[in-house]
Structure 1
Amino acid sequence: MNKIKSQAIAKYIRTSQHKSRRVLQQIQGKNYSDAILILKFMPYRVCKTISKTLESAFNNIKNISKENIDKKKVKIIDAYANKGPVLKRFQPRAQGRAFPIKKPTCHIVIKLEV
């Protein structure tokens, strides 16, 4: 059986790429079932989004392959977060001033392989 690859991309996630990368580095290279378990018990908000993206990538592999796939054999070959557009807002301050607020977004990419 040759190697089956799939990927899933979550775009415009409202968190910084630095916070996402911190979590993605923990699951990179692990198998699917271990990664889901790790994400379940991590205290970060972005873990829920990463779990959904990982699940989507796994479902993509299941759709490509017509046979039953063991979750322990599916490996995360690549997981990274790229910078997305920054939402720019302003906070009004005293005496007519305004301070900028930058709300970063990111794009999460997860690639799997059987």
Structure 2
Amino acid sequence: MEAVARARFVRLVPRKARPVADLVRGKKVDEALAMLKFTPKKAAEYIYKTIKSAAANAEENQDYRDVSKLYVKEIRIDEGPAWKRYTPRAHGRASLIRKKTSHITVVLSD
């Protein structure tokens, strides 16, 4: 039995979020949530919410009552579309600023 949750278009740089995802990959859900709660990174908050959502999906959709037996089977941080913004530069030019986004996918299994 697998439960999946996705957080899409999260305003987070994938390169900075992947080390946080590596912390919890393969851990039990309770242990992963405890680790993320005290990780001082912005990515930890979004990954925490996505794991909680996947656990809720397991309870609701698959009628899985004991969430403590679940573990993080797969967690992916994929790159989403970048927002494009411009800032003024010298001599009337404009410089591109790319605000990157991420797609977070969590798969829980027993």
Pair 1:83 & 2:60 matched: no
Q: Matches of 2:64 and 2:43 in 1, distance apart?
A: 32
Aligned pair count reads 110
Larger mean Cα displacement after TM superposition, 43-52 or 27-36: 43-52
Structure 2 gaps, min length 5: none
Cα deviation, 1:67-93, whole Å, max 9, x if unaligned, reads 52141x111000011110011111101
Tell me the equivalent position of 1:107. 103
Structure 1 gaps, min length 5: none
Q: Matches of 2:95 and 2:9 in 1, distance apart?
A: 24
Q: 1:26 aligns with which of 13, 23, 45?
A: 23
Cα deviation, 1:83-109, whole Å, max 9, x if unaligned, reads 100111111012201111110001000
Cα deviation, 1:24-64, whole Å, max 9, x if unaligned, reads 11100000000001101111011111111100000011113
Pair 1:74 & 2:70 matched: yes
SS at match of 1:111: strand
Q: 1:57 aligns with which of 49, 54, 62?
A: 54
Distance 1:70 1:56, change over 3 A: closer
When normalised by structure 1's length, the TM-score is: 0.91
Structure with the higher fraction of residues in helix conformation: 2
After superposition, the CA RMSD in angstroms is 1.1
Q: Matches of 1:81 and 1:68 in 2, distance apart?
A: 28
When normalised by structure 2's length, the TM-score is: 0.94
Supply the AA of the counterpart residue of 2:29.
Y
